[in-house]
A = this chain, B = another copy of it.
Amino acid sequence: MTQGQPEHIPDPTQRELLHVVVLAGGVGGAKAAAGLYQILPPQALTVIVNTGDDFELLGLPISPDLDTIMYTLAGINHPEQGWGLAGDTFQALEMIGRYGGPTWFRLGDKDLATHIMRRYLRDQGHSLTAITEQLAQALGIQARILPMSDDPVCTVVDTPEGRLPFQEYFVRQRQQPRVLAVHFEGIDRARPTPAVMEALARADAIVFAPSNPYLSLDPILALPGVREAIRSRRERVVAISPIVGGKALKGPAAKMMREFGESPSPLVVARRYADLLAAFVLDEQDTAYRDAIAALGLRVHVTDTIMKTPADRARVARAALAALGWEVVDEHA
C-alpha cells in the first residue's frame, strides 16, 4: 500500500500492522471479503460476520454466513450457488430424508462436517469465536473471521402470515412473503465479542460489504456499542452499494426496500448509514445518485461493482479502499 491519508496510514514497510475490517453477511459479503483478502496481506484482514441467520437443524448449529465466508476465503465454496462447497454431495441428506428428517435446508456431506465439528467443539465449551478460528485455520485461512457475537441473536421477519424465523422466510419460503418488519431476537442480551470491538478500535479501514442492509449489516450494527465504535472512526468507514440499477444482485434487499416504502437505490443504503460513513462505492450504472449521496457528506467512488471473477472482486475491494484515499499496490499483479 502507499499512503493516501498520511496521518492514518502506517509505514508501508510495516504492512503487518495494517488492519482492514469488513462487515459482512451472505454472498455479497463473502465476495467483498474475498476481494480484500486477495489484495491485502492476508493477516491484515478481519471479517466481522452476521450471525443472526444462525439456527439449529437436527441439533447441529448452522452459521450460514460464517460458513459461506469461510468456504469462500478457503477457495472451496461452490462456484455458482450462494452457499455450500464445490463438489459437495447429498448422501447424508438423502438418508436423513429416509428417516423422516428435514431436507428443506440443503446440507451437503462436506458441509455437514463443519456443523458436526461446531457442535462437538461447542459441547466441549468453546465459544463460536474460538470454534470459527479453529475451523478457519484448519482450512488454511490467514484472515480473521469473527462472528459478531458469541451470544445467540435470531433474526425474525414479520409478514402478513405472522412472524417467521429467518431460514423459514429465506430458504423454505424463498423470500416470497412480504416483510413488514425485521427483529433481532436476543439482541438486547447479546454483546459484540471483545475481538470484534478490538478489531473495530484498531481498524485502519472499515468496509461495509454489499450485503443486505436489513438482514446482514443491521444485526451487526444493532449490537450494543458497535455503532458508536464505528461512528468514532467514521473517517475510515466506507460502504459498497448492494443495489445496482435498482436491483439487488442477490437476495431480497430491493424487494424489502419496496416493502418498506422506498424506491430501491443506493441512496437508501447511503442514507441509512450516513452517520457512520465517510465514503461510498457506487456502481457505474447508478451515477445519477452521485450528487445526492455526496450531499449526505460522503465521498463517492464509482466503479463496476458486479463481482463475477476474482479480478472483479479485487477491483471492488480496491475501489472501497480508494474511496477512503488508499491506493493498494497489487502484490499478485
Give the interface of A toward B (CB within 8 A). Answer: 58-60, 85, 88-89, 91-96, 98-101, 108-110, 112-114, 116-117, 119-120, 123, 134-135, 138-139
Q: B138 near A113 (CB under 8 angstroms)?
A: no
Mostly, the A contact residues are helix
Copies held by the complex: 2
Q: B112 near A112 (CB under 8 angstroms)?
A: yes
Q: A92 near B117 (CB under 8 angstroms)?
A: no
- Measured in the bound complex, the distance between the Cα atoms of B100 and A98 in whole Å is 30
Report the minimal beta-carbon distance from A317 to chain B, rounded to whole angstroms: 27
Name the residue of chain B whose CB is nearest to the CB of A118.
B99
Residue with the highest number of chain B CB atoms closer than 10 Å, among A85, A108, A116: A116
Q: A96 near B113 (CB under 8 angstroms)?
A: yes
- Measured in the bound complex, the distance between the Cα atoms of B114 and A58 in whole Å is 11
Q: Which of B59, B95, B110, B114 contacts A113 (CB 8 A)?
A: B95
9 A-B interface contacts by CB (under 8 A):
A58-B120, A59-B119, A59-B120, A60-B116, A91-B108, A92-B113, A96-B117, A101-B116, A109-B109
- Measured in the bound complex, the distance between the Cα atoms of B117 and A100 in whole Å is 10
Name the residue of chain B whose CB is nearest to the CB of A124.
B59
Report the minimal beta-carbon distance from A66 to chain B, rounded to whole angstroms: 14
- Measured in the bound complex, the distance between the Cα atoms of B113 and A60 in whole Å is 12
Task: Beyond the given A88-B91, A96-B117, please list 10 additional residue pairs across the A-B interface where CB-CB is below 8 A.
Answer: A59-B116, A60-B116, A91-B109, A91-B110, A91-B113, A92-B110, A92-B112, A93-B113, A95-B112, A96-B116
Q: Kindly list the 4 A-B residue pairs having the minimum CB-CB distance in the complex, ordered from nearest.
A: A95-B113, A91-B109, A109-B109, A95-B110
Q: A96-B116, A99-B135, A114-B95 are in contact. Are A59 and B123 (CB under 8 A)?
A: yes
Report the minimal beta-carbon distance from A182 to chain B, rounded to whole angstroms: 29
Name the residue of chain B whose CB is nearest to the CB of A98.
B138
Report the minimal beta-carbon distance from A134 to chain B, rounded to whole angstroms: 8
Report the minimal beta-carbon distance from A308 to chain B, rounded to whole angstroms: 27
Across-interface contacts of A120 in B (CB, < 8 A): 58-59, 101
Report the minimal beta-carbon distance from A24 to chain B, rounded to whole angstroms: 22
Q: Which of B94, B100, B135, B139 contacts A110 (CB 8 A)?
A: B94
Report the minimal beta-carbon distance from A83 to chain B, rounded to whole angstroms: 15
Q: B109 near A139 (CB under 8 angstroms)?
A: no
Across-interface contacts of A91 in B (CB, < 8 A): 88-89, 91, 108-110, 113
- Measured in the bound complex, the distance between the Cα atoms of B58 and A92 in whole Å is 16
Q: A89-B109, A91-B109 are in contact. Are A98 and B60 (CB under 8 A)?
A: no
Report the minimal beta-carbon distance from A119 to chain B, rounded to whole angstroms: 6
Across-interface contacts of A92 in B (CB, < 8 A): 92, 109-110, 112-113, 116
Q: A98 near B139 (CB under 8 angstroms)?
A: yes
Report the minimal beta-carbon distance from A70 to chain B, rounded to whole angstroms: 11
Report the minimal beta-carbon distance from A190 to chain B, rounded to whole angstroms: 24
Name the residue of chain B whose CB is nearest to the CB of A90.
B109
- Measured in the bound complex, the distance between the Cα atoms of B92 and A98 in whole Å is 19
Across-interface contacts of A85 in B (CB, < 8 A): 95
Q: A138 near B89 (CB under 8 angstroms)?
A: no
